[in-house]
């Protein structure tokens, strides 16, 4: 989603800003812009499309400045146009970039219009620029002008303001959208994500909710939400930005699919042995908290939600704890009942998803006993605001369609199931079987990836299809949901997932030869039921693609193609069966020629509602 980079220095900052934007590109955006101040001159360049279009538009005249802000925009208010791209400006003096949504922008717009301000864009952000210009006329001080302005904003903002008449400072404000200050020597920076600033610094101050800060080359002044000047600790970041380049892979997504055996090895390393799990693996005192836990609520969005649904099956079956899973955007806006000794678990790749963060904050008010974040980004807002955290070690995931983050979430949730199960009297047989399953995972994943050619071949049959149906039962139902999401996201083929038992309650009406049916059918106690579901589809002329192991006794014929997945233990089967569905959506998208790593309309990290 939108990205922010800002700098105040003695040197020309344009390359720092552009490199920062490149590092945020994978998050998804549709236009980019930069504002630079040089000797009391303000220049603004914006382009729709990729950051490269902005880079190409920058030259000797407009590409110099010692203070500057840059932005990648993912359109919310107003179409994808150069005028709507950030930075926005007022009086040819102030330039503003903004992540988030100013919800009362209509009211602010009419108020400012009455005061004589002229709006050129359709965005909510332009109200910030004019608001600050209006306040500046009264206070004459940029920090004061921003402090006054934010009092009138409703909604979410991470915003940076520069003023050509105060060329050696930036004023920034954070509420509901992250901002981090990067500390240099004789120069300072700001960004919506620390990764954008790794080429220039590793020392960061993470702003807190409601903070407003003035940043000069040599100082940082922070005012908290109560209006008091505060010191915030600077920390040295050890976060690895290891995305590297695509290497020999055509897309990041394919690279990330193939990285799964290794990143799962990393996720298990020093956490799982054949004897058990490390004590208090999920945070200080986690074993005591798990022992007390009577009820678990899992909150997440998208793919991370699917990981949560899979975990519900595991936690209830193997650990014997009552668990519900809910989409964050639903949870945050309804009244819910919190039983005694409830544990809240959030799952998120980025740790910055607006709805998941809001749900965590709400849960604290509702009196959950404790909170645990399962997350891929150390230092993210979700990790910092949760009482316990557990890092999935997927490494940087660049492809918008989540792959390795999902399977490392699942591996982490299986560890969690064992960890909680141990406190709830899980039998040693179940525990050893799950541990053995976990240890075998990386090798089984390697074997499953060897199906790639066979799946690439099968993908040809989807290229002219508009709709598809994914079926699974038990803990494979969420895997069917995830398979359907992947196909929609990157190939733009409509895909729905159903628990197979629901077929005759409606979706059977859709079956015909133009609606491929994808079935995940591991060899477990539900196999016979799945065989019946397959026959129901066959009887209606449906064409099926079945992923099953050899013993499952599915045979390819004119209406059914069977892909044999390696045998595996029950608990890890959802992780193994995820792989062929990822490969299928990747190869279908490849044939359709879509932008696999940055599919249309989507952002990697959804930091607004």
Contacts with ligand AGP by CB under 6 A lie at 301-304, 348-350, 353, 356, 400-402, 489, 605-606
Nearer to ligand AGP (CB atom), residue 303 or residue 422: 303
Q: Are the beta carbons of 86 and 46 closer than 8 angstroms? A: yes
Does residue 553 contact residue 521 with C-beta atoms inside 8 Å?
no
DSSP state of 377: S
Least CB distance to ligand AGP at residue 141 (A): 38
Asked whether 58 and 47 are in contact (CB, 8 A), the reply is no
Question: Which CB sits closer to ligand AGP, 383 or 568?
Answer: 383
Q: Which is nearer to ligand AGP, 170 or 301 (CB)?
A: 301
Q: What is the DSSP string of 204-252?
A: EEEPPTT-EEEEESS-EEEE-TTS-EE----EE----------TT-SSH
To ligand AGP, the closest distance from the beta carbon of 490 in angstroms equals 9
Q: In what order do the strands lie in the sheet with 494-499?
A: 494-499, 467-472, 517-520, 544-548, 560-564
Q: Pick the catalytic residue: 214, 312, 393, 604? A: 604
Q: CB 347 → ligand AGP: shortest distance, Å?
A: 7
Q: Which is nearer to ligand AGP, 66 or 304 (CB)?
A: 304
Nearer CB in complex with ligand AGP: 16/345? 345
CB of 29 to ligand AGP, least distance (A): 14
Closest distance between ligand AGP and the C-beta of residue 276, in Å? 29
Between CA 447 and CA 200 the distance in angstroms is 41
Q: CB of residue 590 vs ligand AGP: minimum separation in angstroms?
A: 17
Q: How far apart are alpha carbons 32 and 34 in whole angstroms?
A: 7
Sheet holding 180-183, edge to edge: 41-48, 31-38, 67-73, 3-8, 188-191, 180-183, 203-206, 235-236
Question: Which listed residue (2, 323, 375, 568) is catalytic?
Answer: 2
Match 């196999």 to its residue by tokens.
Answer: 527
* Beta-bridge partners for 96: 88, 161
Least CB distance to ligand AGP at residue 79 (A) = 23
Using the minimum distance from each CB to ligand AGP, give the nearer residue, 489 or 597: 489
Cβ closer to ligand AGP: 237 or 350? 350
Q: Which residue has the tokens 């006993």?
A: 369
Minimum distance from CB of 197 to ligand AGP (Å)? 20
| 149/154 Cα distance (integer angstroms) | 11
The question of whether 604 is a catalytic residue gets the answer yes
In the complex, the smallest distance separating the C-beta of residue 313 from ligand AGP, rounded to whole angstroms, is 19
Between strands 3-8 and 67-73, the pairing is antiparallel
**Unique residue bearing structure tokens 């997932």:** 497
Q: Which residue is nearest to ligand AGP (CB)?
A: 302
Q: Is the peptide bond before 87 cis (omega within 30 degrees of 0)?
A: yes
- With respect to ligand AGP, which residue has the nearer C-beta, 401 or 573? 401
Tell how far CA 91 is from the center of its chain.
37
First-last CA distance in the chain: 11
Burial class (CB in 10 A: 0-12, 13-18, 19+), 450: exposed
Q: Is 269 a catalytic residue?
A: no
214 neighbors 221 (Cβ within 8 angstroms): yes
Residue 154's φ and ψ, nearest 5 degrees, are -115, 140
- Give CA–CA dist 376/159, Å, rounded: 25
**C-beta closer to ligand AGP: residue 331 or 554:** 331
Report yes or no: 41 and 100 within 8 Å, Cβ to Cβ: no
Distance, in Å, from the CA atom of 126 to the CA atom of 472, rounded to the nearest integer, reads 48
H helices, E strands: number in the chain: 18, 25
Catalytic center residues: 2, 604
């Amino acid at each position: 989603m939108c990205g922010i980079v800002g700098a105040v220095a003695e040197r020309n900052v344009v390359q720092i800003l552009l490199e920062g934007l490149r590092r945020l590109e994978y998050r998804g955006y549709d236009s980019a812009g930069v504002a630079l101040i040089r000797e009391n001159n303000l220049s603004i360049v914006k382009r729709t499309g990729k950051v490269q279009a902005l880079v190409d538009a920058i030259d000797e005249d407009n590409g110099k400045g010692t203070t500057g802000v840059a932005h990648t925009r993912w359109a919310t208010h107003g179409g994808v146009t150069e005028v709507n791209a950030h930075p926005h400006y007022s009086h040819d003096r102030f330039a503003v970039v903004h992540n988030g949504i100013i919800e009362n922008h209509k009211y602010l717009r009419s108020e400012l219009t009455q005061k004589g301000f002229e709006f050129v864009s359709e965005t909510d952000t332009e109200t910030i620029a004019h608001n600050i210009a209006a306040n500046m006329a009264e206070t004459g001080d940029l920090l004061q002008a921003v402090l006054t302005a934010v009092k009138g904003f409703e909604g979410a903002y991470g915003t940076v303001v520069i003023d050509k008449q105060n060329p050696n400072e930036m004023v920034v404000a954070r509420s509901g959208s992250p901002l981090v200050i990067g500390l240099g020597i004789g120069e300072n920076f700001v960004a919506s994500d620390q990764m954008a600033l790794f080429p220039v610094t590793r020392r960061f101050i993470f702003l807190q909710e409601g903070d407003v800060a003035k940043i000069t080359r040599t100082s940082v002044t922070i005012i908290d939400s109560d209006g008091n000047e505060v010191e915030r600790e600077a920390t040295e970041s050890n976060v690895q930005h290891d995305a590297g380049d695509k290497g020999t892979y055509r897309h990041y997504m394919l690279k990330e699919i193939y990285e799964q055996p290794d990143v799962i090895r990393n996720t298990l390393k020093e956490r799982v042995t054949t004897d058990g799990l490390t004590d208090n693996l999920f945070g200080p005192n986690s074993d005591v908290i798990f022992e007390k836990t009577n009820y678990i609520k899992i909150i997440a969005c998208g793919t991370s939600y699917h990981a949560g649904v899979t975990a519900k099956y595991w936690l209830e079956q193997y650990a014997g704890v009552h668990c519900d899973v809910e989409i964050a955007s639903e949870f945050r806006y309804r009244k819910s009942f919190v039983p005694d000794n409830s544990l809240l678990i959030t799952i998120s790749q980025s740790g910055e998803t607006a709805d998941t963060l809001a749900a965590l904050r709400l849960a604290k008010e509702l009196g959950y006993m404790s909170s645990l974040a399962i997350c891929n980004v150390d230092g993210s807002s979700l990790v910092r605001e949760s009482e316990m955290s557990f890092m999935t070690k997927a490494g940087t995931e660049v492809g918008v369609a989540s792959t390795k983050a999902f399977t490392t979430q699942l591996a982490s949730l299986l560890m969690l199931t064992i960890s909680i199960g141990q406190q709830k009297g899980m039998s040693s047989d179940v525990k050893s079987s799950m541990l053995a399953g976990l240890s075998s995972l990386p090798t089984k994943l390697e074997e499953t990836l060897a199906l790639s050619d066979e799946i690439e071949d099968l993908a040809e049959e989807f290229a002219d299809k508009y709709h598809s149906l994914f079926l699974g039962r038990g803990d494979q139902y969420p895997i069917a949901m995830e398979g359907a999401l992947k196909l929609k996201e990157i190939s733009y083929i409509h895909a729905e997932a159903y628990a197979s038992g629901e077929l005759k309650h409606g979706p059977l009406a859709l079956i015909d030869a133009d609606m491929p049916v994808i079935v995940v059918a591991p060899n477990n106690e539900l196999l016979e039921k799945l065989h019946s579901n397959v026959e129901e589809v066959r009887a209606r002329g449906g064409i099926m693609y079945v992923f099953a192991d050899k013993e499952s006794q599915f045979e390819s014929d004119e209406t059914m193609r069977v892909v044999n997945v390696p045998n595996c233990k029950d608990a890890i089967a959802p992780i193994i069966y995820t792989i062929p569905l990822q490969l299928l959506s990747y190869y279908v998208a490849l044939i359709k020629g879509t932008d696999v790593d940055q599919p249309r309309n989507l952002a990697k990290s959804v930091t607004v509602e």
